């Protein structure tokens, strides 16, 4: 039996390597059927090892090395094609990402260039603030715009935080900026701090601002008023003149715009700049109100401001026309190196007003107290108690006014927010409860 098994194996090997014909081997193996040899058709002798079915069947005329070589070549080709397709898909994805990022960056750069000019023009038009300089707009992380910040001079200091610094956010769901892609111009801005549209002249020296219309009803009549302002620039894109108009219409139906009545000039502002790009002179011409087309335009008053700077100190001389010796004089604004206002003082021409307001800041950089001095004597203070970080606070800020006597001691305090007050005993210097 052992000898026959040996001969059978020899026949199989000779057949596989092509040394004997397949028919001869078949005749010899048929005689061995039924013996105790390996037979794949018999359940008892079937191999239990799982065979890989993806190899092609052996065909007549093929040899085993050729089949293996073809299988390896087909497998390598499939893998190469898969890798090639994956690389192409990844390359296209990266290319699309770069293009999207570039388009976003180009859009942000456009807004970074155009928005400061429009915001400066708009704020100088609708506000009486004297803007000294702004911080411009930067791009954060190639995806969003920074806030627009500027520093201005104000004559009434009573607000908490840092009222001489203004910051407007330019991102978020509440900000909508419309553009004309053909002209590369911003046509409208809708935001919590402004809502207006813009049109441009044939050159870059004219901007027309259209604000939201309002309904006015009083003893003068019932009017539909649409503000229309013209802003003129110099070649450096600085505002040199602003002419404010109001177009009057009648009111039709349910507060709808009716037929046009007349166009009224309400105000003219003019600016002059020094070599340091700061405002040197600023003039405001205010026209009297009129509500009839036949009424003539009349100038009510003219205010002229002249500026000078000494380091971080700004001197502003105010002159009214007609003259007013009480309100005409010089304001002095003293800042530190971080654009924090340290003090504001005023001295009028008649020498009847000579006061100074000192600003003390807390650790967070917000106003802690305004301290008023007249002729170098402290007269009163206005201090802040902040609760803006406490979500359960009834008031975000409380303000307390303290009155000082000639001896420099305070005997009376009033909480302007709650309406409560307290007094101080002049003998014991103890404060009474708030009531």
Phi and psi torsions of 147, nearest 5°: -70, 155
User: Is residue 418 included in any domain, yes or no?
Assistant: no
Q: What range does the domain containing 304 cover?
A: 212-310
- Boundary (domain end) residue, out of 292, 310, 328: 310
User: Is residue 272 included in any domain, yes or no?
Assistant: yes
> CATH code at 268?
2.40.128
- Boundary (domain end) residue, out of 285, 310, 335: 310
User: Is residue 93 included in any domain, yes or no?
Assistant: no
User: Is residue 342 included in any domain, yes or no?
Assistant: no
Compute the distance between CA of residue 337 and CA of residue 332 in angstroms, rounded to an integer.
16
Phi and psi torsions of 278, nearest 5°: -95, 155
How many folded domains does the chain comprise? 2
- Boundary (domain end) residue, out of 310, 340, 367: 310
User: Is residue 297 included in any domain, yes or no?
Assistant: yes
User: Is residue 100 included in any domain, yes or no?
Assistant: no
User: Tens of pLDDT along the chain (435 residues)?
Assistant: 444 455 555 555 545 444 445 444 455 444 444 444 445 554 444 444 444 455 555 555 555 677 677 767 777 777 877 787 787 878 777 777 777 777 888 888 999 999 999 999 999 999 988 888 788 899 988 788 999 999 999 888 999 999 999 999 998 889 999 999 888 899 999 999 999 999 998 888 999 999 999 999 888 889 999 999 999 999 999 999 999 999 999 999 888 999 999 999 999 999 999 888 889 999 999 999 999 989 989 999 999 999 999 889 999 999 999 899 899 999 999 999 899 999 999 999 988 889 999 999 999 999 999 999 988 889 999 999 999 889 889 999 999 999 999 888 899 999 999 999 999 998 888 999 999
User: Is residue 247 included in any domain, yes or no?
Assistant: yes
Compute the distance between CA of residue 89 and CA of residue 153 in angstroms, rounded to an integer.
58
pTM: 0.75
User: Is residue 398 included in any domain, yes or no?
Assistant: no
Compute the distance between CA of residue 161 and CA of residue 227 in angstroms, rounded to an integer.
32
């Amino acid at each position: 039996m052992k000898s026959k098994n040996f001969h059978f194996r020899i026949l199989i090997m000779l057949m596989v390597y092509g040394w004997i014909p397949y028919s001869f081997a078949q005749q010899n193996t048929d005689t061995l059927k039924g013996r105790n040899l390996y037979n794949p058709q018999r359940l008892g002798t079937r191999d239990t090892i799982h065979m890989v079915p993806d190899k092609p069947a052996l065909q007549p005329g093929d040899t085993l090395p050729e089949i293996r070589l073809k299988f390896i070549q087909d497998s390598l080709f499939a893998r190469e094609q898969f890798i090639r397709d994956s690389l192409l898909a990844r390359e296209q994805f990266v290319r699309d990402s770069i293009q999207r990022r570039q388009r976003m960056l180009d859009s942000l750069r456009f807004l970074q260039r155009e928005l400061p000019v429009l915001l400066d023009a708009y704020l100088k038009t609708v506000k009486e603030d004297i803007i000294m300089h702004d911080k411009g707009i930067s791009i954060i992380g190639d995806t969003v715009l920074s806030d627009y910040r500027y520093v201005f001079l104000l004559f009434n200091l009573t607000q908490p935080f840092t009222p001489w610094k203004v910051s407007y956010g330019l991102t978020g769901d509440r900000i909508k900026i419309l553009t004309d892609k053909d002209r590369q111009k911003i046509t409208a801005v809708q935001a919590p701090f402004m809502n207006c549209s813009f049109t441009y002249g044939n050159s870059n020296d004219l901007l027309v601002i259209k604000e939201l219309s309002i309904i006015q009803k009083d003893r003068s009549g019932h009017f539909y008023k649409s503000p229309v302002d013209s802003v003129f620039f110099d070649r450096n894109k600085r505002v040199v003149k602003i002419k404010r108009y109001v177009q009057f219409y009648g009111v039709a139906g349910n507060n709808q715009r009716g037929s046009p009545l007349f166009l009224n000039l309400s105000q003219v502002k003019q600016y002059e700049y020094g070599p340091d790009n700061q405002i040197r002179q600023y003039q405001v011409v205010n026209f009297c109100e009129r509500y009839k087309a036949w009424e003539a335009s009349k100038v009510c008053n003219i205010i002229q401001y002249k500026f000078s700077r000494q380091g971080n100190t700004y001197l502003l001389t105010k002159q009214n026309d007609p003259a007013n010796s009480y309100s005409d004089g010089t304001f002095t604004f003293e800042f530190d190196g971080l654009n924090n206002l340290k003090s504001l003082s005023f001295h009028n021409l008649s020498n009847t007003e000579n006061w100074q307001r000192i600003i003390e800041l807390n650790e967070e950089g917000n106003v802690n107290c305004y301290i008023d001095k007249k002729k170098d004597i402290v007269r009163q203070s206005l201090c802040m108690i902040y609760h803006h970080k406490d979500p359960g606070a009834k008031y975000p800020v409380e303000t307390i006014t303290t009155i000082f006597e000639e001896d420099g001691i305070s005997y009376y305090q009033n909480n302007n927010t709650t309406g409560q007050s307290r007094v101080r005993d002049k003998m014991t210097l103890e404060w009474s409860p708030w009531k």
